[in-house]
């Protein structure tokens, strides 16, 4: 007689309940190897269930090797199936709360830098593009693809960067990646060989510092000021693997690297045999003049160019790209394959369609006007509340600005006080490699806030600071 309790009110099917009950009895040793199980008819009668339920549960046990069937003489518990530890106590997984520090309370005016206006995502046009992607032959769009990504998307990106960013490029130099974040990891992997020294702008986003360190790079910080990398500080006496720069819009301080600094930087990498990584993350939105052509256009053989759709469309698409010097293309595709085979194909096809049919450029134009307006509202609110006590750093580009407040130190206590009043701003110091220089600067992202939220947030900032 086998006792299994079945709960007819449970959402777990009876077959599963019976299987679980018998399996537990076999593992615990209650049903010992060699013991004979009742016939399915007998057991069904005993439990008051249909015979099919018992037959299916028995089959599951048999197919996993818990039982053996001897023709004509019944079903027996198989040898070697006792393992009481597996059922000694009900195994419940308890997980301590894992905090990565990026939670934000609902209702907080979150001046997070780098998030585009998510409500303005061009949903209707995008859905049409996605539909077009799924109308591709299934073998082509739903099977395994190539690590470098879809030809259609690489061609569309190539046309875009050649015409808009002055990049020298052939579609075969492009590898589609899961955003800039993956692109930087791949570039580090390609460029960090015997040379391990890496020059980073200081400050630079914490993520990039972590990726470089994670790939075994040894970081040498070089100051970034209001105009980007201070080229006079580039170290002599080392042979860096690469210099990583955000020349269109230094992150986080906002400077745009002038041509004289660009040339000095290129002369430095030429002299030291280093490569350059150009992260062109939000150059599409320049409000105080035409965007400068890419650094890559000046030295295509030395520059790894990285672009992303995280700022222009949505970070949730996780789509960016590397444009590699020809000598690195093969290895770059190999590394992408190693990471995750390739980016998801339907999104690549949809994006290619969206760019090729003109939707992307139209969207950029509309968003540029929108962000210019938001930035103006933010600048006016800062001027109205803080007057000469605040200075905006860098060029008017992108989705955030960096502001220096004379006489204010953004301590954790001040930031916590702001959070209590439901406003979150971001200290530039959090991105510093050498600490202590940027305590009076905060980053104020405006991309994903309404004009009313921006005005209200700055009003609260002023109230808290002046308390
Ligand atoms: C300097 C910089 N580059 C690129 C990105 C974009 O990263 P991803 O393309 O992986 O979303 C960010 C994110 O905010 C950034 O700060």
For the chain, the domains span: 14-86, 109-116+366-465, 121-361
**Residue 408's pLDDT is what?**
95
For ligand 1, atom 1, name the residue with the nearest CA.
Answer: 251
Among 115, 175, 181, the mutation site with the greatest number of ligand 1 atoms within 8 A of its Cβ is 181
Which residues, other chains included, contact 106 with Cβ-Cβ below 8 Å and sequence gap of 6+? Answer: none
Q: What are the residues facing 225 on neighbouring strands?
A: 228
Q: Which helix (H) or strand (E) holds 175?
A: strand 174-177
C-alpha distance from residue 243 to each of 110, 268, 433 (Å): 32, 10, 15
Mutation probe of ligand 1 site: the residue of 110, 182, 249, 310 with most atoms within 8 A of C-beta: 310
pTM: 0.89
Q: Does residue 196 contact residue 241 with C-beta atoms inside 8 Å?
A: yes
Identify the pLDDT of residue 88.
76
Q: pLDDT 10s digit of each residue in the chain, 467 long?
A: 688 899 999 999 999 999 999 999 999 999 999 999 999 999 999 999 999 999 999 999 999 999 998 767 889 999 999 999 888 776 667 777 776 666 666 789 999 999 999 999 999 999 999 999 999 888 888 999 999 999 999 999 999 999 999 999 999 999 999 999 999 999 999 999 999 999 999 999 999 999 999 999 999 999 999 999 999 999 999 999 999 999 999 999 999 999 999 999 999 999 999 999 999 999 999 998 888 899 999 999 999 999 999 999 999 999 999 999 999 999 999 999 999 999 999 999 999 999 999 999 999 999 999 999 999 999 999 999 999 999 999 999 999 999 999 999 999 999 999 999 999 999 999 999 999 999 999 999 999 999 999 999 999 999 999 88
Tell me which of 308, 320, 402 to substitute to probe ligand 1's pocket, judged by most ligand atoms within 8 Å of the beta carbon.
308
CATH architecture of 14-86: Orthogonal Bundle (1.10)
Burial track 83-109 (b if 16+ CB lie within 10 A, e otherwise): eeeebeeeeeeeeeeeeeeeeeeeebb
C-alpha to C-alpha distances, 164 to 144, 285, 293, nearest whole angstrom: 32, 12, 8
Q: How far is the CA of 181 from the centre of ligand 1 (A)?
A: 6
β-pairing verdict for 228-229 and 67-70: unpaired
Identify the CATH number of the domain defined by range 121-361. 3.40.640.10
Cβ–ligand 1 distance for 296 under 6 Å, the answer no
Class of the 109-116+366-465 domain? alpha beta
110 closest CA partner among 342, 346, 423: 423
281 Cβ below 6 A of ligand 1: yes
- CA nearest neighbour of 37 among 81, 68, 5: 68
173 lines ligand 1 (CB under 6 A): no
Residue 114 CB less than 6 A away from ligand 1? yes
pLDDT score for 103: 64
Q: Whose CA is nearest to atom 14 of ligand 1?
A: 114
CB atoms within 10 A of CB 4: 16
pLDDT at 169: 94
Asked if residue 116 has its Cβ within 6 Å of ligand 1, the reply is no
**Do residues 79 and 91 lie in contact, with contact meaning Cβ atoms separated by under 8 Å?**
no
The pLDDT value recorded for residue 136 is 87
| pLDDT for position 292 | 83
Report yes or no: 212 and 244 within 8 Å, Cβ to Cβ. Answer: yes
Q: Is 279 in the pocket of ligand 1 (CB under 6 A)?
A: yes
For the CA atoms of 443, 446, 452, 457, the dihedral, rounded to the nearest 10 degrees, stands at -10
């Amino acid at each position: 007689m086998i006792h299994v309790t079945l709960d007819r009110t449970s959402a777990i099917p009876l077959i599963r309940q019976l299987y679980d009950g018998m399996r537990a009895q076999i593992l615990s040793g209650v049903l010992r190897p060699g013991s004979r199980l009742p016939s399915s008819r007998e057991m069904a009668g005993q439990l008051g269930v249909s015979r099919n339920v018992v037959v299916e549960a028995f089959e599951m046990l048999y197919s996993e090797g818990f039982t053996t069937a001897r023709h004509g003489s019944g079903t027996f518990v198989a040898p070697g199936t006792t393992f009481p530890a597996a059922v000694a106590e009900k195994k419940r997984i308890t997980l301590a709360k894992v905090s990565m520090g990026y939670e934000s309370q609902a209702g907080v005016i979150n001046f997070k830098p780098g998030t585009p206006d998510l409500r303005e995502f061009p949903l209707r046009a995008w859905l049409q593009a996605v539909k077009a992607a799924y109308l591709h032959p299934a073998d082509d769009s739903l099977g395994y693809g190539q690590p470098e990504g879809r030809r259609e998307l690489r061609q569309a990106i190539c046309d875009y960067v050649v015409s808009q960013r002055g990049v020298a490029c052939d579609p075969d130099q492009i590898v589609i990646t899961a955003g800039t974040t993956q692109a930087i990891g791949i570039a580090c992997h390609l460029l960090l060989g015997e040379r391990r020294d890496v020059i980073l702008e200081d400050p630079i986003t914490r993520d990039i510092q972590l990726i470089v360190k994670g790939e075994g790079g040894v970081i040498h910080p070089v100051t970034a000021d209001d105009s980007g990398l201070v080229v006079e500080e580039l170290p002599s006496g080392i042979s860096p693997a690469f210099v990583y720069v955000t020349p269109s819009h230094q992150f986080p301080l906002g400077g745009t690297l002038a041509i004289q600094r660009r040339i000095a930087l290129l002369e430095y990498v030429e002299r030291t045999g280093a490569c350059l990584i150009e992260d062109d993350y939000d150059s599409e939105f320049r409000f105080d003049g035409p965007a400068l052509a890419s650094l890559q256009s000046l030295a295509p053989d030395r520059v790894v160019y990285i672009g992303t759709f995280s700022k222009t469309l949505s970070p949730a698409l996780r789509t960016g790209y590397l444009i590699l010097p020809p000598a690195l293309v093969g290895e770059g595709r190999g590394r992408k394959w190693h990471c995750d085979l390739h980016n998801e194909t339907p999104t690549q096809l949809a994006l290619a369609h969206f760019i090729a049919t003109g939707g992307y450029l139209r969207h950029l134009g509309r968003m540029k006007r929108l962000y210019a307006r938001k930035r103006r509202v933010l600048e006016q609110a800062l001027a109205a509340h803080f007057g000469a006590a605040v200075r905006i750093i860098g060029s008017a580009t992108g989705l955030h600005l960096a502001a220096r407040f004379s006489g204010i130190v953004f301590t954790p206590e001040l930031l916590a006080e702001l959070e209590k009043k439901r406003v979150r701003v971001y200290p530039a110091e959090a991105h510093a490699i050498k600490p202590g220089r940027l305590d009076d600067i905060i980053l104020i992202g405006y991309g994903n806030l309404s004009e009313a939220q921006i005005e209200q947030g700055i009003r609260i900032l002023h109230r808290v600071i002046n308390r």
